[in-house]
Amino acid sequence: MEIVRSGFAILAWALALGALGAGVLAQGGRVSLKLDVLTHFAPLYLAAAVAALVLAFAGPRSGRNALVVFSLLGVAAAATLMAPEYLRPRGEPRAAPDAASTLKIVQFNAWGGNRDAEAAVRWIVAQDPDVVVLEEAGRVRGPLIDAGYREACHGCAAAIFAKRRPVRRFVPFPRDGEPSYITSATYRHGGAEFTVVAAHRYWPIRFTRERAQTESLGRYIATQSKERLILAGDFNSTPWSFARQREDRGFGLIRRTRGMFTWPAARLSHNRLPAPFPYMPIDHVYAGPGWATVKVERGPRLGSDHYPVVVTLAPVESSAR
């Protein structure tokens, strides 16, 4: 029995020190893109530190106090990364569910290998959204068009579908043989125009390309009127990333998704990592100050390794009335 208790203590020390070390190193993400990659896994550090704290009481009494202290330090290191996301002021106007002229947006990385595309389309259509932003539209694209949604850009990495025709659209030219990672379309709603920008970003470990996308998207957003602008997509970036926080500030928009875990949705992610539960909020929806938030919710598993996000907005004038 003593051997088992010692084994628990060894495992607990490994988890506590690993969580603490990773959490401290992740703070270097303030100045280093490479260290910033560590920030995305903050929920795993938190889980490891909590597990170490529990295991500390299953191990021998000798050294337990020190193990508890280091476990709590690991919890603090992870919580320090994550807490600002949940403590930040909302900053956006709110609207009641019965607000007039609401606009519903579905953001969903449908995954090119989706084997349950029909169920995904049925769910999307049942939501009756005004705008659907899809990444890796794949098998979902055709049935969604058959259901009456118009596509703003065929073959784009980030596609926009809507019930109405766009007033105008913008699709940058492909680079390096790859489709553009952003698409933009302007529509009319409630007597006024609004613009939707869809994005499908690289993973942050592709430092050069991710830096280029950050700069180009920031430049494009800066050219747009922010009042009725909506930005949605798979950013492959969590809100506890310092790079994401800098970009959030630069957009001049309000992110309406708050720490909503959307990846992975499958039991195994597409890169074969075990995923018993989602641990990364990487699908985001932003909107300008001219939109009030009615509701933000996460959808069900739909054959992709991402969960969909549903955001309902209302024009601020409408919600005020």
What average pLDDT does the segment 13-27 reach?
A: 98
In a domain, 92, yes or no: no
What's the number of CA atoms in the CB half-sphere (13 Å) around residue 218? 13
Residue 136 lies in a domain: yes
Q: Is 96 part of any domain?
A: no
Q: How far apart are CA 166 and CA 176, in angstroms?
A: 28
- The residue written with tokens 């409630």 in the block is 190
CATH number, domain containing residue 165: 3.60.10.10
Let me know if residue 146 belongs to a domain. Answer: yes
Q: What is d(CA 109, CA 171) in angstroms, rounded to the nearest whole number?
A: 19
Reported as a pLDDT band with limits 50, 70 and 90, residue 274 is low
Co-location of 173 and 279 in the same domain: yes
Amino acid 3: pLDDT: 81
For residue 281, is it within any domain?
yes
Give dist(CA 17, CA 23) in Å, integer.
10
pTM: 0.92
- 57 and 111, same structural domain? no
pLDDT at 268 over 70: no
pLDDT at 100 (0 to 100) = 87
Cα-Cα end-to-end distance for the chain? 69
Nearest to 121 by CA among 268, 302, 267: 302
In this structure, are 46 and 118 located in the same domain? no
Q: Tell me the pLDDT band of 147, cut-offs 50, 70 and 90.
A: very high
* 123 and 71 assigned to the same domain: no
Nearest to 264 by CA among 307, 213, 208, 300: 307
Q: Are residues 156 and 200 in the same domain?
A: yes
Domain of 17? Answer: 2-87
Crossing angle of helices 138-146 and 117-127, rounded to 10°: 50
Residues 66, 125 within the same domain: no
Spell out a b/e string for 27-57, using b for 16 or more CB atoms within 10 Å of the CB, else e. bebeeebeebbbbbbbbebbbbbbbbbebbe
119 and 266, same structural domain? yes
pLDDT at 6: 84
Is residue 97 in a domain?
Answer: no
